Structure 1
Amino acid sequence: MRYLIAIVGILMVFVLTFLASNDRRKIRYRPLLVMIIVQAILAFVLLNTGVGEFMIKGFASTFDHLLAYAMQGVNFVFGGIANEGQSPFFLSVLLPIIFISALIGILQYTKILPFIIRYIGLILSKVNGMGKLESYNAVASAILGQSEVFISVKKQIGLLPKHRLYTLCASAMSTVSMSIVGAYMTMINPKYVVTALVLNLFGGFIIASILNPYTVDKEEDILEVQEEEKQSFFEMLGEYIMDGFKVAITVAAMLIGFVALIAMVNGIFDGIFGISFQELLGYVFAPFAFIMGVPWHEAVEAGSIMATKMVSNEFVAMLELGKHTALSAHTVGIVSVFLVSFANFSSIGIIAGAVKGLHEKQGNVVARFGLKLLYGATMVSVLSATVAGLFL
């Protein structure tokens, strides 16, 4: 029965995406079939095999060590600020982002990351049937982040037609940056983080291929990546450290604002209707949770967490998930995979602002299709969670 519901769920994602497609006649079904099979194989390997367990443990162990190193810097500056045995969220989860950002800068400076991103992107383009630029951008988004990635392709942004620009932005919203992966792993099981990262990469292409189908001519499919302006090593390091600090502070500010606002709205709804706003949204999202594989008796609770992510951000939703200790392991796994992406309303402004900073006209174009971006990225999260649910 569980497998039947998951298959129906996948079909429902395709139907909902198909109904919103720009041009249904241009949809190419063979690459879609290949990518959904690849997704299923990867989910099985990561969640049900010794090889997958080894890879996830290696990935998680690497980040455990990195976070331990990061905490040495945090403790040097903020040691003694917390009560003994306590670890405030800002210090233990957000500030380590600074160290991870510095490492990314070093890998960028030494040309290791650009090499990896470029050639993984070229391999992906053979599988997904899309352009080299789109494939490069998807991999780069998963490492550099949803706003930083556009800097590396800023030469092309002004030349891209609307449909190709949409795919680039959709990739940025469907993935998460490597600098905050460590923070996620302190809040949810690392195996769900890794699984979501991999599945979302292909899910982004699947949904974009239905919502926004097109073909790219070889003449216009030129992958010319913008080289960063040459800096000294320590100039670069200082810049990436400050970028990491800005991300940490921005996330902290968003959490303070959204958690407080949600608490206020919940209080108002509870006082007037006898039900919190999150519980109300839970009923709206419950059918989606159910087709993802969540048992019906947990669907409203799971739907509430999913809705929290969409109206606020994934950090708020992950904190909320941690409070729901009665949920089954199966449901926690599905919801966890759903939460690992930037698919929320605030991301529309972040991505449009990033593009506008490089090309004002194209930034306005992105703002106009912002809601469709969110719709597509949410479908990616639903698809990834549904596929993962088959093997949980």
Structure 2
Amino acid sequence: MKYLIGIVGLIVVLGIAWLASNDRRKVKIKPIIIMIVLQFILGFILLNTSVGNWLIGGIADGFGKLLNYAAEGVNFVFGGIVNPGQMTFFLSVLLPIVFISALIGILQHWRILPFIIKYIGLALSKVNGMGKLESYNAVASAILGQSEVFISVKKELGLLPKHRLYTLCASAMSTVSMSIVGSYMVLLKPEYVVTALVLNLFGGFIIASVINPYEVTDQEDILEVKEEAKQSFFEVLGEYIMDGFKVAVTVAAMLIGFVAIIAMINAIFSGIFGLSFQELLGYVFAPFAFLVGVPWDEAVKAGSIMATKMVSNEFVAMNDLASGNFHFSGRTTAIVSVFLVSFANFSSIGIIAGAVKSLNDKQGVVVARFGLKLLFGATLVSFLTATIVGLIY
């Protein structure tokens, strides 16, 4: 029975994406089938072996060390600012962007990032039928994060048409960054985090290629930006450090506004209906939770956690799931866990729009206009990953 429901769920998720497609006639079926098969194969391997967990865990540890180095600089400037018992979001999450941005500048100056774009992007584009830049960006998003990744392609941002910009932003929202994978593993089982990380990569390609299909010519895919003058190492380093700080400050401002508005909406719904916005959305999400494999008697509660993630963020939802108050079955826990491992929430609209706007004001306005469609697509990616896991688990 679970396989029948799962297959129906898979058809429903892809069908919703198809209905929202910009041009249904341009949707390429073959790459989508290949990527879905890869999702099943990789998901099965990751959920039944420790190799994937070991690999991702090692990468996460490496990025954890980088964040520790970043903390040295933050503590030097802001030492003594303490928020007992809580994480100071700006200091702990946003300001390390400055250090990571500096590293990106170094990699760009040494021509390492262009090398990665050319060859990893070329390999993935053969599978997904998309451009090399889009393929690179999806992998880079999973490593650098949804804000920092735009710094790595900041020279190309101003040249991208709307449809290609959407795909880049959709990849950033559908994945999570390696720098916080370790934090997720404290709240969720590592195998679920690793599986979601890999499946979301291909899921992002699948949903984007259905919602936003297009052809990229070889001429369009070679985006070589000529520098006005050769910059020295320290000029590049200073430029990227300032770019990182601009991203951190802009993202912080966007988050303040979005989180405050969501809190206001929750208060209004609680006053009118006696239920928060998340609780009401739990009933909306329940049918979808059922279709991805959650038993009906657990679907409303599972839908509530899924909605909490979308309305607030994944950490709030993960804490709810890890609290032990829901007593889900193992399969439901696996399905909900992989659903939570992405940046698909309302706040991410502000984060991504703010990050792009800080680097290219015109393109930032474009991103803000299709922000809701970004969230729609990224949420479908999470449902697709959950459906695959529901069929495998």
The alignment's TM-score, normalised by the length of structure 2, stands at: 0.80
Structure 1's unaligned 5+ residue stretches are: none
1:209-243 Cα deviation digits (max 9, x unpaired): 1111111111111044899x999999999999999
Is the 2:61–2:182 contact (alpha carbons within 8 Å) kept by the matching residues of 1? no
> Using the alignment, how far apart are the partners of 2:297 and 2:23 within structure 1?
38
1:171-182 correspondence runs (5 A): 171-182=171-182
| Partner residue in 1 for 2:295 | 295
Is the 1:18–1:210 contact (alpha carbons within 8 Å) kept by the matching residues of 2? yes
| Partner residue in 1 for 2:328 | 327
> Using the alignment, how far apart are the partners of 2:315 and 2:346 within structure 1?
14
> Using the alignment, how far apart are the partners of 1:361 and 1:190 within structure 2?
40
Shift of residue 357, structure 1, vs aligned partner: 2.9
> Using the alignment, how far apart are the partners of 1:187 and 1:248 within structure 2?
26
> Using the alignment, how far apart are the partners of 1:321 and 1:27 within structure 2?
36
| Partner residue in 1 for 2:134 | 134
1:61-72 correspondence runs (5 A): none
> What CA RMSD, in Å, does the superposition of the two structures yield over aligned residues?
3.9
SS at match of 2:163: helix
2:181 partner letter: V
> Using the alignment, how far apart are the partners of 1:139 and 1:189 within structure 2?
22
> Using the alignment, how far apart are the partners of 2:315 and 2:15 within structure 1?
29
Is the 2:308–2:317 contact (alpha carbons within 8 Å) kept by the matching residues of 1? yes
1:83-123 Cα deviation digits (max 9, x unpaired): xxxx9341799838877975785576356666556532221
2:342 partner letter: S
Compare 239-248 and 372-381 and name the one that shifted more: 239-248
Is the 1:9–1:291 contact (alpha carbons within 8 Å) kept by the matching residues of 2? yes
Shift of residue 315, structure 1, vs aligned partner: 1.8
> Using the alignment, how far apart are the partners of 1:302 and 1:43 within structure 2?
21
1:90 partner letter: M
**In the superposition, relative to structure 1, how do residues 386 and 101 fare at CA in structure 2: closer, same or farther (>3 Å)?**
farther
Is the 2:318–2:340 contact (alpha carbons within 8 Å) kept by the matching residues of 1? yes
| Partner residue in 2 for 1:359 | 360
Shift of residue 190, structure 1, vs aligned partner: 2.2
2:312 partner letter: S
Shift of residue 322, structure 1, vs aligned partner: 2.0
> Using the alignment, how far apart are the partners of 1:175 and 1:7 within structure 2?
24
Compare 185-194 and 271-280 and name the one that shifted more: 271-280
SS at match of 2:218: coil
Shift of residue 26, structure 1, vs aligned partner: 0.8
> Using the alignment, how far apart are the partners of 2:246 and 2:338 within structure 1?
26
> Using the alignment, how far apart are the partners of 1:322 and 1:252 within structure 2?
27
| Partner residue in 2 for 1:190 | 190
Compare 357-366 and 277-286 and name the one that shifted more: 357-366
| Partner residue in 2 for 1:336 | 337
Q: How many residues were matched structurally?
A: 389
> Using the alignment, how far apart are the partners of 1:268 and 1:318 within structure 2?
25
> Using the alignment, how far apart are the partners of 1:56 and 1:168 within structure 2?
23
> Using the alignment, how far apart are the partners of 2:230 and 2:165 within structure 1?
27
1:168-204 Cα deviation digits (max 9, x unpaired): 1111111122222232222222222221111111111
1:13-92 correspondence runs (5 A): 13-55=13-55, 58=58, 88-90=85-87
Compare 116-125 and 344-353 and name the one that shifted more: 116-125
Is the 1:95–1:245 contact (alpha carbons within 8 Å) kept by the matching residues of 2? no
SS at match of 1:186: helix
| Partner residue in 2 for 1:165 | 165
Compare 144-153 and 167-176 and name the one that shifted more: 144-153
**In the superposition, relative to structure 1, how do residues 35 and 224 fare at CA in structure 2: closer, same or farther (>3 Å)?**
farther
SS at match of 2:153: helix
1:322-377 Cα deviation digits (max 9, x unpaired): 22441222222211211111111222222223323333332222222221111111
Shift of residue 49, structure 1, vs aligned partner: 2.8
| Partner residue in 2 for 1:146 | 146
1:44-80 Cα deviation digits (max 9, x unpaired): 1111235345445545666787789999999999999
Is the 2:251–2:354 contact (alpha carbons within 8 Å) kept by the matching residues of 1? no
Structure 2's unaligned 5+ residue stretches are: none
Is the 2:101–2:151 contact (alpha carbons within 8 Å) kept by the matching residues of 1? no
SS at match of 1:343: coil
SS at match of 1:22: coil
| Partner residue in 1 for 2:215 | 215
> Using the alignment, how far apart are the partners of 1:322 and 1:246 within structure 2?
34
Is the 1:138–1:171 contact (alpha carbons within 8 Å) kept by the matching residues of 2? yes
1:338 partner letter: F
SS at match of 1:215: coil
**In the superposition, relative to structure 1, how do residues 198 and 230 fare at CA in structure 2: closer, same or farther (>3 Å)?**
farther
**In the superposition, relative to structure 1, how do residues 92 and 212 fare at CA in structure 2: closer, same or farther (>3 Å)?**
closer
2:41 partner letter: I
> Using the alignment, how far apart are the partners of 2:225 and 2:57 within structure 1?
33
| Partner residue in 2 for 1:95 | 92
1:301-316 correspondence runs (5 A): 301-316=301-316
**In the superposition, relative to structure 1, how do residues 204 and 159 fare at CA in structure 2: closer, same or farther (>3 Å)?**
same
